[in-house]
């Protein structure tokens, strides 16, 4: 038998190509992972004698800025994919580059936030609020780093595939985009829960 | 993903057998590794059984090799007994049965049964095996740490697990590898079944084995991540001194713990059992799938109620997510919550009974062939039946007060998993061996393996029901010597132990049979020696790279045996309608 089917084209009855189904399945498990941590947050908070107001400890303007940064990066990610659909490779490079830079900006801001906490001797071990804050945001940051690595690969060496197999490359960018929007979405939940409530 | 560009004949040894991307090689890698772990985990239990039968006596022969830190003078220390208990459970479940039933059988036969050239993501498949392998090595390595391997039970309940020696940290790291491995595996299985079914292979034409594997994959996909979250939190508790699972004011050995406190021990239990309960269906569903295939093949007639079995397995998968807290009736979580979970638990027993009943009814009026795979598959039915039915009292909050954490629980789930799942695994190995190797396993050795194993399994676990009903706790290092209520049941410990060692002895014919038949077994004359209907038998023996010689096309359901008017008593799925 020949090549693996449905790498590029969609299967008729499912309407999906393999990797697209794969990424949705992966994200459903990610929902369960973050869902478990959010549930833990709820259980710890409802069981706690004292629970600090998030805004009294965390830097709300910095968090809000980071929210804007991530949403903007999601937009440029969509533009990158749309550019490939329009067959404009230069525009794709530009937009994916913006996405990566915005993601890096997010991490820089985040590291300043972490640094400020450590300066004030606020560590994960200080109390359960900080413990769950550091756990959730660090896990999210790991996902951001993962996204940066994947996007950088497609921006650099991985983009050669555009010459040989443009349809498949477009699919890859679509999948990286779906993942990236999820990372963005997690932050949109994290920010109000941790910073505002 | 574009592996099939390469000619497999020109691949180097490393690419073909070690970092393989072919689902059949990966299946065999999983199979060999997990059989090794099964044997190893079984040996741990054989050591424990000595301590239970003859507490405080030096272990003969092996005792002096265990080292002064584990068994000074050959006498097992309580800490070492706890290590054995925790690691027996962990290894058997996460490194033995699941990788064998899902990683090995699923990998090898799901693509074949649906008519696919490979798994949907071959490189992911390879990654998944190697993550599993690393997880296993981390677990094994933990035995050599100061303080030994994890010793807080396979459930790793805090606060004990939070303050246990370093072995627990390794346990958590190992678990993270295993969880990510099964996550990648689950994605791959689901994508394969949805995307790579051959033309004509509709969902209601899938063999029941594929259905069982598909539901299992969903359970692994959605139930494991919460345990990963819990594992990360416990790791942070141990390494970064957070207090996720440490309540305020905890005093250990008379000293207050220097942690911030404010955590919840129940949180761990909720997250653990949110995985833990679907996990038991991960252990049992694929086993049911194997048994269904073998029974259909050896009764020479269609399975009775294929559709209701399929709907049952889907319903079972769904329900398994909302029964977890029946493991926690004694934690004081409240009667309202208990009432909810005992209701869902009673409901979930219904689809299991439907599947079992369908398999029993299928036997009616069949011309049954009693070959070795069929014997194992048939004995699965009553053994799983005993295991399942004895679970009902545990699922009700009131009787569970008495039975919780006693030997009754041990007997119950071992009936499900040992003479249940593991017998199904044996059945599967005997059944599919000819497809993988081109040779049949010896029938004589198979009988020597089967009959004593069936008898001894019951002799090991039946007494534990008695001990459990008497109230003997499951985690006692001396088997209950110090407890008045356990005195009458103490002789049963010796009986269970002797039978366990004999059971070990009677696995030797199987191991010998496996190796000998691979080299010298009787060659099969046809690609379909059992005269089966499903697609894996339409491949060459053993299947080459890409599996099928020509792209298969499916015209009928999975179990068209003894169709009236047909030329033979089996009609393969890829045989055209005329």
Extents of the domains making up chain B: 25-248+262-538
**CB of A135 less than 8 A from some CB of B:** yes
Chain B nearest CA to A142, separation (Å): 13
Q: In B137-193, which ranges are E strands?
A: none
Q: What share of chain A is helix, strand, coil (3-state, %, to 5)?
A: 80, 0, 20
Specify whether the backbone of B7 is left (phi greater than 0), alpha (psi in -120 to 50) or beta. beta
Contact at CB, A49 and B226, closer than 8 angstroms: no
- Residue of chain B nearest A9, judged by CA positions: B195
**CB of A12 less than 8 A from some CB of B:** no
Q: What is the pLDDT of residue B453?
A: 98
Q: Which 3 state secondary structure label does DSSP give B256? A: strand
Collect all residues of chain A within an 8 Å Cβ-Cβ radius of residue B334. Answer: none
Q: What are phi and psi of B333, to 5 degrees?
A: -80, -5
Chain B nearest CA to A21, separation (Å): 6
Collect all residues of chain B within an 8 Å Cβ-Cβ radius of residue A3. Answer: 2, 4-5
**How does residue A109 score in pLDDT terms, banded at 50, 70 and 90?**
very high
Element (H, E) at B290: helix B265-299
- Residue of chain A nearest B221, judged by CA positions: A29
**CB of A40 less than 8 A from some CB of B:** yes
Collect all residues of chain A within an 8 Å Cβ-Cβ radius of residue B262. Answer: 44, 48-49, 127-128
- The rounded distance, in Å, linking the Cα atoms of B316 and B323 is 11
Q: What is the pLDDT of residue B5?
A: 47
Tokens 């391997």 label which residue?
A: B149
Q: What is the pLDDT of residue B8?
A: 59
Q: Give A134-175 pLDDT, tens digit per residue.
A: 999 999 999 999 999 999 999 999 999 999 999 999 999 999
Q: What is the pLDDT of residue B346?
A: 96
**CB of A15 less than 8 A from some CB of B:** no
- The rounded distance, in Å, linking the Cα atoms of B187 and A19 is 10
Preferred mutation among A4, A33, A52 to probe B, highest tally of B CBs within 10 A: A4
- Residue of chain A nearest B217, judged by CA positions: A25
| B25-248+262-538: CATH architecture | Up-down Bundle (1.20)
Q: What is the pLDDT of residue B545?
A: 87
Exposure string for A46-58, b = 16+ CB within 10 A, e = fewer: eebeeeeebeebb
Preferred mutation among A3, A30, A36 to probe B, highest tally of B CBs within 10 A: A36
Contact at CB, A25 and B187, closer than 8 angstroms: yes
Collect all residues of chain B within an 8 Å Cβ-Cβ radius of residue A16. Answer: 194-195
Contact at CB, A21 and B232, closer than 8 angstroms: no
Q: What is the CA radius of gyration of chain B?
A: 24
pTM: 0.96
Q: Which residues contact A10 (CB under 8 A, 6 or more apart)?
A: A16, A17
**CB of A42 less than 8 A from some CB of B:** no
Collect all residues of chain B within an 8 Å Cβ-Cβ radius of residue A126. Answer: 260
Q: What are phi and psi of B98, to 5 degrees?
A: -60, -50
Contact at CB, B229 and A40, closer than 8 angstroms: yes
In chain A, DSSP finds a helix count (H) and a strand count (E) of 7, 0
Collect all residues of chain A within an 8 Å Cβ-Cβ radius of residue B263. Answer: 44, 128
Collect all residues of chain A within an 8 Å Cβ-Cβ radius of residue B244. Answer: 40, 44, 128, 131-132
Q: What is the pLDDT of residue A182?
A: 98
Q: Which of B228, B241, B270 sits opposite A33 (nearest CB)?
A: B228
Collect all residues of chain B within an 8 Å Cβ-Cβ radius of residue A40. Answer: 229-230, 233, 244, 267, 271
**CB of A8 less than 8 A from some CB of B:** no
- HSE at residue B545, side-chain half, CA atoms within 13 A, is 18
Per-residue tens of pLDDT for chain B, all 578 residues: 334 445 556 778 888 888 999 999 999 999 999 999 999 999 999 999 999 999 999 999 998 899 889 999 999 999 999 999 999 999 999 999 999 999 999 999 999 999 999 999 999 999 999 999 999 999 999 999 998 999 999 999 999 999 999 999 999 999 999 999 999 999 999 999 999 999 999 999 999 999 999 999 999 999 999 999 999 999 999 999 999 999 998 999 899 988 888 899 999 999 999 999 999 999 999 999 999 999 999 999 999 999 999 999 999 999 999 999 999 999 988 899 999 999 999 999 999 999 999 999 999 999 899 999 999 999 999 999 999 999 999 999 999 999 999 999 999 999 999 999 999 999 999 999 999 999 999 999 999 999 999 999 999 999 999 999 999 999 999 989 999 999 999 999 999 999 999 999 999 999 999 999 999 999 999 999 999 999 999 999 999 988 999 899 999 999 999 999 998 999 999 999 87
Alpha carbon B564 to chain centroid, angstroms? 39
Preferred mutation among B114, B128, B191 to probe A, highest tally of A CBs within 10 A: B191
Angle between helices B508-520 and B443-469 (to 10 degrees): 160
Q: Which of B1, B194, B222 sits opposite A21 (nearest CB)?
A: B194
Contact at CB, A7 and B2, closer than 8 angstroms: yes
Collect all residues of chain B within an 8 Å Cβ-Cβ radius of residue A51. Answer: none
Contact at CB, B221 and A25, closer than 8 angstroms: yes
| Domains of chain A by start residue, with CATH | 18-196 (1.20.120.80)
Closest CA to B78 of B110, B55, B53: B55
Collect all residues of chain A within an 8 Å Cβ-Cβ radius of residue B266. Answer: 43
């Amino acid at each position: 038998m020949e090549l693996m089917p449905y790498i590029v084209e969609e299967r008729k009855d499912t309407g999906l190509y393999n990797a697209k189904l794969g990424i949705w399945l992966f994200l459903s498990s990610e929902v369960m992972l973050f869902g478990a941590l959010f549930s833990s947050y709820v259980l710890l908070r409802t069981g706690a004698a004292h629970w600090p107001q998030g805004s009294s400890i965390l830097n709300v303007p910095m968090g809000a800025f980071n929210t804007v940064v991530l949403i903007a990066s999601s937009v440029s990610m969509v533009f990158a994919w749309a550019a490939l659909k329009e067959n404009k490779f230069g525009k794709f490079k530009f937009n994916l580059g913006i996405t990566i830079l915005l993601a890096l900006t997010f991490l820089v801001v985040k590291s300043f936030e972490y640094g400020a906490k450590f300066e004030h001797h606020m560590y994960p071990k200080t109390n359960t609020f900080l413990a769950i804050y550091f756990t959730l945001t660090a896990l999210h940051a790991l996902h951001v780093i993962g996204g940066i690595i994947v996007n950088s690969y497609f921006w650099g060496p991985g983009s050669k595939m555009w010459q040989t197999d443009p349809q498949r490359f477009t699919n890859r960018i679509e999948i990286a985009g779906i993942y990236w929007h999820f990372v963005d979405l997690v932050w949109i939940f994290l920010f109000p829960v941790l910073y505002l409530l | 993903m574009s592996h099939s560009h390469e000619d497999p004949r020109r691949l180097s040894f490393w690419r073909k057998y070690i970092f393989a991307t072919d689902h059949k090689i990966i299946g065999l890698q999983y199979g060999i590794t997990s059989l090794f772990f099964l044997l190893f985990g079984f040996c741990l239990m054989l050591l424990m059984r000595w301590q239970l039968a003859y507490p405080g006596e030096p272990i003969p022969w092996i005792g002096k090799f265990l080292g002064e830190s584990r068994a000074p003078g050959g006498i097992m220390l309580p800490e070492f007994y706890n290590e054995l208990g925790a690691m027996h459970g962990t290894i058997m479940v996460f490194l033995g049965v699941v990788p064998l039933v899902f990683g090995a059988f699923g990998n090898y036969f799901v693509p074949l049964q649906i008519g696919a050239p490979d798994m949907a993501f071959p490189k992911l498949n390879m990654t998944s095996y190697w993550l599993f392998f690393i997880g296993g090595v981390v677990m094994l390595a933990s035995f050599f740490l100061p303080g030994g391997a994890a010793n807080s039970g396979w459930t790793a309940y805090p606060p004990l697990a939070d303050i246990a020696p370093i072995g627990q940290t390794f346990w958590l790291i190992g678990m993270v590898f295993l969880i990510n491995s099964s996550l990648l595996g689950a994605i791959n299985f689901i994508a394969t079944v949805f995307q790579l079914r051959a033309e004509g292979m509709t969902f209601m034409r899938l063999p029941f084995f594929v259905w069982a594997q598909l539901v299992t994959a969903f359970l692994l996909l959605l139930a494991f991540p919460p345990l990963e979250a819990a594992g990360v939190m416990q790791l942070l508790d141990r390494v970064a001194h957070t207090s996720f699972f440490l309540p305020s004011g905890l005093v250990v050995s008379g000293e207050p713990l220097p942690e911030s406190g404010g955590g919840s021990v129940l949180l761990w239990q909720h997250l653990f059992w949110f995985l833990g309960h679907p996990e038991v269906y991960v252990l049992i569903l694929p086993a049911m799938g194997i048994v269904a295939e073998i029974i259909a093949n050896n009764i020479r007639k269609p399975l009775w109620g294929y559709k209701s079995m399929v709907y049952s397995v889907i319903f079972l998968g769904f329900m398994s997510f909302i029964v977890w807290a029946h493991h926690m009736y004694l934690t004081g979580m409240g009667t309202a919550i208990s009432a909810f979970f005992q209701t869902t638990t009673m409901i979930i027993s219904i689809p299991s009974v439907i599947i079992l009943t369908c398999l029993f009814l299928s036997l009616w009026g069949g011309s049954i062939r009693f070959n070795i795979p069929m014997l194992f598959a048939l004995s699965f039915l009553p053994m799983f039946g005993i295991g399942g039915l004895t679970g009902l009292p545990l699922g009700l909050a009131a009787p569970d007060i008495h039975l919780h954490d006693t030997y009754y629980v041990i007997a119950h789930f071992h009936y499900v998993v040992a003479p249940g799942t593991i017998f199904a695994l044996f059945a599967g190995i005997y059944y599919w061996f000819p497809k993988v190797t081109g040779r049949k396993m010896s029938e004589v050795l198979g009988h020597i393996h089967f009959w004593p194993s069936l008898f001894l399994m019951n002799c090991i676990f039946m007494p534990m029901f008695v001990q459990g009903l008497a109230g003997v706790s499951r985690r006692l290092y001396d088997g209950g010597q110090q407890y008045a209520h356990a005195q009458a049941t103490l002789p049963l410990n010796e009986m269970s132990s002797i039978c366990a060692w004999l059971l070990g002895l009677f696995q030797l014919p199987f191991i010998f049979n496996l190796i000998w038949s691979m080299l010298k077994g009787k060659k099969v004359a046809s690609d379909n020696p059992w005269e089966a209907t499903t697609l894996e038998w339409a491949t060459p023996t053993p299947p080459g790279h890409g599996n099928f010689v020509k792209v298969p096309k499916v015209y009928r359901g999975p179990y068209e045996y003894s169709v009236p008017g047909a030329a033979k008593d089996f009609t393969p799925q890829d045989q055209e309608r005329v």
